[in-house]
């Protein structure tokens, strides 16, 4: 693996050298080169995780939840950072939930419920980049960590997945074709990726992302499901009320 890493870095340096010779080095170009390098090393890290079968959920083929994923991403970014020109990393985070999944299971049975879960998981995975972390958080909830993605990028991503899910139909005995929908909560953060970034701070940020996405998800459910909601810190106090009202209405 060391030879591969060195070759990749050597090629990057060659590109920079050529740009320097032509006096064409700009911050925007350097940032793109840095992002490409980050994606390369992030892929190596993720494939290492995927190679360990213990990390894979058997039913969906998605990653099992682990609280170190965001830390791994930040570590990778810190390792390849050459200077302080790009000290931050945008992270998008999404929590998906299949609408009325318990009722669906009770009405049509767990076999069809499993088919829905597997199909939805495949849609999310297929719409994701190789560097994204698609995680079965628990039950019918699926989390996605989107490195180098701001809130606008996360919104585009979620819209595409919800649209694809709405097109799918399932068969059950002699009944008409059955459809299912999902709701999603979206949030994001901007992480310091300096080598001095503390593991405990990153883990705390990961928990914060999960809570904020879950609050936004409850809002999407409360507003009628089959949609997404974007977390807003300015409305933080409202989310407890929304969660309580939605729970009572079920």
Catalytic residue chosen out of the listed positions 37, 58, 115, 140: 140
Q: Using alpha carbons only, what angle is made at residue 104 by residues 226 and 185, rounded to the nearest 5 degrees?
A: 30
Q: Where are the domains of the chain?
A: 56-249
**Residue 2 in this model has a pLDDT that exceeds 80:** no
Residue-by-residue DSSP string for 101-118 = HHHHHHHH-HHHHHHHHH
**Residue 110 in this model has a pLDDT that exceeds 60:** yes
Look up 140 and say whether it is catalytic: yes
How confident is the model over 221-240, as pLDDT tens digits?
999 999 999 999 999 989 99
CATH topology of domain 56-249: Alpha-Beta Plaits (3.30.70)
CB-side neighbour CA atoms (13 Å) of 128: 22
246 pLDDT tier (thresholds 50, 70, 90): confident
Note the pLDDT of residue 22.
Answer: 63
Average pLDDT over residues 80-109: 85
Please state, as a whole number, how many other Cβ atoms lie within 10 Å of the Cβ of residue 53.
Answer: 7
Q: Which of 218, 232, 161, 153 is nearest to 185 (CA)?
A: 218
**Residue 27 in this model has a pLDDT that exceeds 70:** no
Q: Using alpha carbons only, what angle is made at residue 198 by residues 192 and 202, rounded to the nearest 5 degrees?
A: 65
**Residue 45 in this model has a pLDDT that exceeds 80:** no
3 pLDDT tier (thresholds 50, 70, 90): very low
């Amino acid at each position: 693996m060391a030879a591969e890493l060195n070759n990749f870095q050597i090629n990057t340096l060659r590109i920079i050298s050529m740009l320097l010779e032509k006096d064409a080095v700009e911050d925007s170009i350097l940032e793109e080169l840095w992002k490409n390098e980050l994606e390369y090393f992030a892929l190596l890290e993720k494939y290492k995780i995927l190679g360990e079968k213990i990390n894979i959920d058997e039913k969906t083929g998605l990653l099992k939840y682990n609280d170190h994923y965001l830390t791994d991403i930040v570590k990778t970014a810190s390792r390849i950072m050459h200077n302080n020109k790009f000290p931050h990393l945008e992270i998008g985070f999404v929590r998906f939930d299949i609408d009325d999944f318990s009722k669906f299971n009770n009405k049509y049975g767990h076999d069809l419920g499993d088919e829905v879960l597997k199909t939805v998981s495949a849609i999310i995975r297929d719409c994701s980049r190789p560097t994204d972390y698609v995680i079965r958080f628990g039950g019918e909830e699926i989390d996605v960590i989107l490195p180098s993605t701001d809130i606008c990028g996360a919104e585009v991503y979620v819209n595409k997945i919800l649209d694809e899910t709405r097109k799918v139909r399932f068969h059950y005995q002699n009944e008409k074709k059955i459809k299912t929908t999902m709701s999603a909560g979206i949030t994001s953060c901007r992480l310091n990726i300096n080598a001095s970034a503390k593991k405990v701070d990153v883990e705390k940020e990961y928990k914060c992302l999960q809570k904020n996405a879950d609050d936004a998800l409850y809002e999407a459910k409360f507003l009628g499901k089959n949609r997404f909601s974007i977390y807003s810190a300015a409305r933080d106090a409202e989310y407890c009320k929304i969660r309580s009202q939605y729970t009572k209405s079920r």
